[in-house]
Structure 1
């Protein structure tokens, strides 16, 4: 076969699409935060977290990694010869008991709160503190990682019918270093603040006034007990972003 014929066949090659089946329900709608509100919320949040970071930097010794034995012995001799330091105030800030840092601890708190809903209707138990707001630094690529937060926020808020629901505040991923510096941690992506947190009333009120609660429309759609056809998504591999070309619904069955 001539080289020209091979080139012509390669250019006329038909693209193959990959079909992905997705759930039929409407996706969760995260709230949109304007730039002015975003910066104000960030400043209030950083000021609230600074006492925790100051305590960590003074009282918690960070890991120094692997060091040579000779250097370690030299530092030990210098520490013995130096004068003893005055004891520092190691009292933990009160707000640290009302703030959750990290995705796992925040999710676990809401899971336990959701489990207490059934018990509270039968027993007179003491209710755990409600999460007033959850701050998440995320990009569009992290949607799957945090996809469970809207449902947990909705279900855990049912335990407090007389209080506003938990608000999820998405923050730009570029502000993550500021939160990490305020807490003296390497990385911080999720911060949960309880409604009982002292000194957080200004931040909580501002968030509730300017950021609406997250919507979970598929919960109502599932309760309706109506058949919904699966969503069929068609994607062309090898493109720059592997973006979805089409998104169509499979025809609904007539068994309504």
Structure 2
């Protein structure tokens, strides 16, 4: 068979007699062809400063262990008082006299609700200035300077994610920021045992507690302040409008045109809906109207 190739086709591309190999055709549904078919799309790009607002100051494991031990020593007296009160509650009121309340109890917060409430009151000064454009001179009440959170023992994480921003906004000035300290896993059980209170995972301290000065000095030397870059102008009383507009833009790009996955399902569903209902036993027993 002169003039034919190995595929059984002649020079003109036709099929030779007695050959069963059809001529090659261009692929129309291959993945390569699908990739060639693309459409123009616009994707929004938002430069969002809020993405790094949940960063906690880093604490070395050895430093964290020293802080937990110091907290246990400072709170041991309050723990003894709590245990005495609990024992007295089990007995008759007149059978045992409770000791006087330790002074430190008036200068700390224990638990989520009391600590968050105190921090929100501290932050309300800045919030009032931003909303009314006026400074709010008021009585300086309780000021929590040091906040300790057993971050890894509290679930879900959403309960503690807001603490960095809250601690920053609760600070009175750039020079007097609230110190936020994350404690290692297992700290909640240890603090709860010392205080004789279940689920003790969050503590707030005022700065003037005498028996805790060595701990405060240690924290100031080893723990950095909370940093929230997009709120740096919060402490400037003359800066009322320091928030910037979001930098929103659109990126022109392309995306492949893919067949809809639900086409076959839709056709199958349409075919089933067009089918007549199958006769049931009740329909068979019914007689036609005469």
Common fold, TM-score beyond 0.5?
Answer: yes
Q: Which sits farther off after the overlay, 110-119 or 186-195?
A: 110-119
Q: Does 1:187 align with 2:184?
A: no
Aligned to 1:226: 246
Aligned to 1:143: 157
The answer to whether the aligner puts 1:214 opposite 2:226 as a matched pair is yes
Name 1:239's counterpart in structure 2. Answer: none
User: Residues of 1 paired with 2:206 and 2:166: CA distance?
Assistant: 15
Whole-angstrom CA distance in 2 between matches of 1:95 and 1:127 = 19
Residue 13 of structure 1: aligned partner: none
| Aligned mates of 1:62, 1:182 — CA distance in 2 | 18
The CA deviation at 1:62 is: 8.5
Higher RCO, Cα 8 Å, sep 6+: 1
Q: Which residue of 2 aligns with 1:105?
A: 114
From 26, 51, 54, the equivalent of 1:26 is 51
Aligned positions, number: 189
**Counterparts of residues 77-92 of structure 1 (less than 5 Å):** 85=95, 87-89=97-99, 91-92=100-101
Q: How does 1:146-157 map to 2 (within 5 A)?
A: 146-157=160-171
Question: How far does the alpha carbon of each residue in 1:5-43 deviate from its partner, in whole angstroms, 9 at most, with x for none?
Answer: xxxxxxxxxxxxxxxxx9943222111211211111111
Q: Match for 2:210 among 184, 188, 198?
A: 198
| SS of corresponding position for 1:168 | strand
Is the Cα–Cα contact under 8 Å of residues 148 and 181 in structure 2 kept in the other structure? yes
Offset at residue 123 of structure 1 (A): 5.5
CA distance in 1, matches of 2:58, 2:174: 25
- 2:164, 2:180 within 8 Å by CA — same for their partners in 1? yes
Determine if contact 1:150/1:168 at 8 Å carries over to the other structure. yes
State the distance in 2 between where 1:176 and 1:150 align.
19
Preserved CA contact (<8 Å) 1:129 1:195 = no
TM-superposed deviation, 1:59? 1.8
Measured in 2, the distance between the counterparts of 1:35 and 1:164 equals 25
Q: Is the 8 A contact 1:26 1:218 kept in 2?
A: no
Q: Is the contact between residue 47 and residue 246 of structure 2 (CA under 8 Å) also seen in structure 1?
A: no
How far apart are 1:57 and its partner, in Å?
A: 0.4
TM-score in terms of structure 2 length: 0.57
Tell me how far 1:134 sits from its aligned partner: 0.9
Show CA shifts across 1:99-155 (max 9, x none). Answer: 101111111111111223447x65643212321211111229643211221122111
Alpha-carbon distance change, 188 to 86 in structure 1, aligned in 2, over 3 angstroms? closer
Q: Is the 8 A contact 1:129 1:196 kept in 2?
A: no
CA distance in 2, matches of 1:62, 1:150: 39
SS at match of 1:172: coil
Alpha-carbon distance change, 46 to 23 in structure 1, aligned in 2, over 3 angstroms: farther
Distance 1:56 1:85 in 2: 17
Aligned to 2:85: 59
Structure 1 gaps of 5+ residues are 1-21, 65-75, 229-251
CA distance in 2, matches of 1:129, 1:63: 30
Query: Is there any run of 5+ residues in structure 2 with no aligned partner, and where?
Result: 1-45, 234-241, 252-290
